[in-house]
Amino acid sequence: MENRIRVAPKFQFPESFEPIIAGLRDANETLNETLLSGRDSGKTWNIAQYAIGLTFEENYNNILFIRATKSQIANSIFSQCINIIKELKLEPFFKIKYKVQEIVNVITNSTIYFDGIDEDPYAIKGFTPRMNKIALVVFEEYTELSSRMPIDITIETLIRFRGSDQNKGTIKFVKMGNPSRWNNHWSWEDLEIDKINPKTKVFHPIWTDIKSYLNPHTVEYIENVRDTNPRYYRFAYLGERMSYEGLVYPQFDNSCMVDRKWLDERVPVAIICGLDPASKRDKTAFTISCLLNSGEFVVMDMWCYNPKEFGNEPLSPSQQTERFMDYFSKFFNKPQNFKFRGLPRYIVCDPANGGMDLEIKINYSRDVAVVNVDKKERLKDIERNTNAMATGRLKILKNVDALKPLIDELSTMIWREQTIGKELKQLKSTQLTIGEDDCHDSMTYALRFALNDARFVQYNSKLFVGR
């Protein structure tokens, strides 16, 4: 193996990432690096490039990428690594094992592993890399972990393996992620500890550092967010720890999130979906939720369509209906969702739905009952949502990538300045809040129906809910 010719690719890293990469290469540098910053800052892409290049440098230079759950990996870091390999035309040098999610360098036998640790942090103790050697461990989106404990267990377990020869046998550990939505999240205290830890270097790359590398449409979108929603921009793209004064849903925190095991142990009684249609300026959002016999309401999945992403050929209302109903049908074909088959199904529509309710009634009437909600009552809806969060009635399923836009909206929606300190009920609904609300509204319609419809009164009476 030593005599085989290696053709190591030459990667170009943005200037802002040169100190980060240099630290990973320096045998005398710190063992750990933390990259906590805003979106579109190039963290994942550049660390993945470095990892792929690392597999060429030594035999069995193994790498491990970790996320909260393994189910999140296929459409994130695993796909990212594959895209880089294809873009650089490196396919002849790698064997991609899709079933087990591994990427093997056929020249050096170095393997890139992918795993999840949040559901069972101690499962990592059974992990053994090839030749008991691992050069780099990356905790991707580490702020999604429920606590610091899985990281500590992983480091304590893997430190026994020999690392990269060029780094004198040491293993480099990298944590990277976007800032938590919650001000009291464990990752903020963890960041302060990292800043004073001599064995850890902290970096804060942001999107402007790699602006010249970004798609012009991405730049245009970010700059629009900066100009129209500066609070969200500071949180999402500058990665700032935000003050939550003026937040519409300060009650929304980790207590509103539940995992799959929690849901599997409960009894659903109905599937209730909310539909908020697109206009020329916003999105179509279709949320899939269930009402439990305990009276709790759980948001499980979502289909979202943004007309801006389709350029000059946006989808018609009929085409959108076909797509989200196909998504809805496939939801029940997933093994974990078999238990929801046979339950009553309702789709709750915004009255201004562009004819989507009629489209559903004509083509999908065997599958669902379509219900049109009354006109928007913004303040009453917010009060209802707030009470449902405060009383533990409203739950959202963890680790579902499709639900991230909804979580973002609930976490960042703020009152307009003119509403602060004033009687909100005297204001028009369009004056109440700032921030995207399409996903929020689709969830709200379904929740309003679940809490107010007479068919569910026996379940509603089991928990206190303000109406």
pTM listed for this prediction:
0.64
| Residue type for position 403 | L
Q: Is the pLDDT of residue 314 over 50?
A: yes
Domains of the chain: 15-213 (3.40.50.300), 254-460 (3.30.420.240)
190: Cα separation from own chain's centroid: 20
Position 30 confidence tier, pLDDT thresholds 50, 70, 90: low
Residue 339: Cβ-neighbour burial (10 angstroms; 0-12, 13-18, 19+):
middle
- Tokens at 425, concatenated: 């009920």
Q: Which residues of 61-71 are buried (b: 16+ CB within 10 A; e: fewer)?
A: bbbbbbbbbbe
Closest CA to 138 of 108, 168, 177, 101: 177
Q: d(Cα 462, Cα 450) in Å, to the nearest integer?
A: 13
Q: Is the pLDDT of residue 257 over 80?
A: yes
pLDDT tens sequence across 71-109: 778 778 898 899 999 988 999 999 999 889 999 999 999
pLDDT tens sequence across 129-186: 999 999 999 999 898 888 899 999 999 999 889 887 777 788 999 999 988 877 778 8
Q: Would the CA dihedral through 253, 254, 259, 261 be positive or negative?
A: negative
295: enclosing H helix or E strand: none
Question: Around Cβ 239, how many Cβ atoms within 10 Å?
Answer: 20
Q: Is the pLDDT of residue 310 over 70?
A: no
Question: Angle at CA 316, nearest 5°, toward 407 and 366?
Answer: 80
Q: Which residues of 81-115 are buried (b: 16+ CB within 10 A; e: fewer)?
A: bbebbeeeebeebbeeeeeebebbbebbebbbbbb
Query: What are the backbone angles phi and psi of residue 394, rounded to the nearest 5°?
Result: -95, 125
Q: d(Cα 411, Cα 252) in Å, to the nearest integer?
A: 7
Q: Is the pLDDT of residue 124 over 70?
A: yes
Q: d(Cα 69, Cα 120) in Å, to the nearest integer?
A: 9
